[in-house]
Amino acid sequence: MASLLQQELAAVLQRDLPHLFGGGLAPGISMVKVTPDLGQARVYLSLLLGADANDRLEIIRENGKAIRQALAKRIRQTARVVPELIFFHDDSAAYAAHMDQVLGTLDIPPAPKDTPDENEEKPSRPRLFKGE
């Protein structure tokens, strides 16, 4: 059900209700989590960073009823119940970019080479059979 909702919500935001974003790019849906009773669906949106992201999330939340109705039209043959939609901003991409930046600033020395000295004895190979 979560997969179906994710696909159809993406289509609703991009094709059915593009006017909500003033001609801009519709947000991507990164994940949908549905409760076991199918009463609620948590929809995580990939929004552009900055103040614009909060404005877009607020627009989506204000138009949640219209989005749910458009979704119901698309899945009425497949699903008996259309869950209540709760929208969240998914900031995992921003967090990944931040962690990449942090890891890029670390000064990690190269690993030491594991070469045996010439004076050290080489370990003997274990004998597997009597003939060896």
> 43-57, pLDDT tens digit by residue?
998 876 555 777 888
Residue 10 CA to residue 120 CA, distance in Å, equals 65
Each as own residue / partner, the long-range contacts of residues 24-31 (CB below 8 Å, 24 or more positions apart, any chain) are: 27/56, 27/60, 30/90, 30/92, 30/93, 31/2, 31/6, 31/90
> 89-99, pLDDT tens digit by residue?
887 777 778 88
* pLDDT-based confidence at residue 70 (cuts at 50, 70, 90): very high
